[in-house]
Amino acid sequence: MITTIEDNLLRWNNSPSCKNIIVKSSFPKAFSAGGDVVHIAKGSPESYRDNVAFFVDEYKANHTMGTMKKPVVAIIDGITMGGGVGAAVHFPFRVSTEKTMLAMPETLIGFFPDVGTSFTLSRLDNNLGMFLGLTGHRLRGKDVFYAGFSTHYIHSSNLQLLEKRLSMQITDSIDETRAILDSVSELSASSEYTYSLAPYLHTINKCFGHRKLEDIYESLKSEPVHKEWAAKTLNELNRMSPSSLKVSLELFNRARYLSIKECLDLEAQIASKIIFSNDFVQGVTELLITKKNNPKWNPHNIYTVDYDTIINTYFSNFNPEYNCNFRNSIDYHDYPFAHHTLPSSDNIIESAIDTNYSFSSTNNTEKINSIVAKLSKKYHNSADVSAKVNHYLKNYSIAELRDLYLSERNSRNPNKYFYTNYFKTHATNKSSKL
């Protein structure tokens, strides 16, 4: 099916009569619950090459999705998991609704977050992608928008209106598509920041910013503020395949410095190896086939998974036969459609510094409005931009913002030194609220 989708996308992409493309599900409860990994886990040695080809074809299609010339709108109304995330997140526009439930639960079946999400997750705000990719945490409703997976949040009752307006689009301009989406999403916009993960973002950044899984565990165990949340998160991690957790974290550590093509090629190589593993067969069998939910992981905990074995097994001796033969030469390190989502915490912090925001003052309403106006020109969703800006600038101390900003993920920013130096000079009072 994935090759049929890709062929149709390419045909419409080259059609002069096509003004935009809408990707949606014909099922009312799900956009896509993911790829069929059951037949792969049941596969015989004779079917190995075909099984690897399944993943390679899927990853090639993901690249095509991320390099379309025509504006594409994915309407992710309902369950969106695994391969379904890959079938949406690479398009320039993604619409979530109050019915959306999005997750990457691959570590629970002995696999890893693939379909190009190593690129996406490693670039989310505040190490959020590490948390989501390792724990399989489920985002619901507007949280999908706040996390950065969708570019617009629209109530499902307005989807028919959206499709009608898109059908009347005059040109194939991505700006015209954006204007239509903005006009409909404004009907669901809110000045209230209702992100359920908002209280934990600083803790997520701190705990999941480590390069070693053991350090993430220790950070969660010693979390002083959100103890209950940390304990719950540890319980979730302990359900996952220990080997998959280490494979996934190593993949994320590398992906943040790789291009989209390099991420997809690396995922193909890992997939070609991991489908032979005990944990993949155990995970798929116990969770998806027999549904006994009692996989026998081997090794059985993270402390007995040898790091060198992970590297030698999954990140070495690559087979060029399993590289993706992409349909075009387009490649990128920075996501080209990031300006269609909400501004990142980095964008907010940098804008505050650029406008000489007074971090120690309690009377900053005028400055905040100025920052919102500046960011809204680029990111459009003015009410939602305002909600996020106000949350960050009113609820975090300058020291906390420094910690969010100085995480390793941000090292690609060419102006990094300027902002880093600012925090070295100003972020001395850890209790000072913004």
Tell me if 358 is assigned to some domain. yes
pLDDT in tens, 76-129: 999 999 999 999 999 999 999 999 999 999 999 999 999 999 999 999 988 999
Is 306 found in the same domain as 352?
no
How far apart CA 398 and CA 265 sit, in angstroms, is 40
Closest CA to 275 of 247, 251, 250, 302: 247
What is the per-residue pLDDT across 37-53, written as a single tens digit (0 to 9) for each? 888 888 777 788 889 99
Domain of 213?
1-322
Catalytic residue among 58, 77, 106, 403: 106
At 310 the pLDDT is 98
pLDDT of 46 reads 75
Residues 219 and 364 occupy one common structural domain: no
Which of 66, 78, 82, 83 is labelled catalytic?
83
250 and 392 both lie in a single domain: no
- The torsion angles phi and psi of 101, rounded to 5 degrees, stand at -130, 115
Domain membership flag for residue 419: no
Please state the pTM of the whole predicted model: 0.94
Q: Which of 34, 35, 110, 141 is catalytic?
A: 35
What is the rounded average pLDDT of the residues 161-174?
98
Q: Is 83 a catalytic residue?
A: yes
Residues 324, 396: Cα–Cα separation, whole Å: 43
Is 80 in the same domain as 207?
yes
* Residues 66, 73: Cα–Cα separation, whole Å: 12
Same domain, 108 and 179: yes
Per-residue confidence (pLDDT) for residue 430, from 0 to 100: 46
Amino acid at 121: L
Average pLDDT, the chain: 92
- Give me the number of domains the chain comprises: 2
CA distance 141 to 428: 38
From 281, 243, 251, 237, select the one nearest 37 (Cα to Cα). 281
For the record, the structure tokens of 351 come out as 């804008």
Region of 78 please: left (phi>0), alpha (psi -120 to 50) or beta: left
Instruction: Indicate which residue of 114, 172, 286, 346 is catalytic.
Output: 114
Structural domain contains residue 148 = yes
Q: Is 106 a catalytic residue?
A: yes
Q: Which residue would you say has higher pLDDT here, 89 or 398?
A: 89
Mark whether 318 and 347 lie in a shared domain: no
- Is 114 among the residues known to form the active site? yes
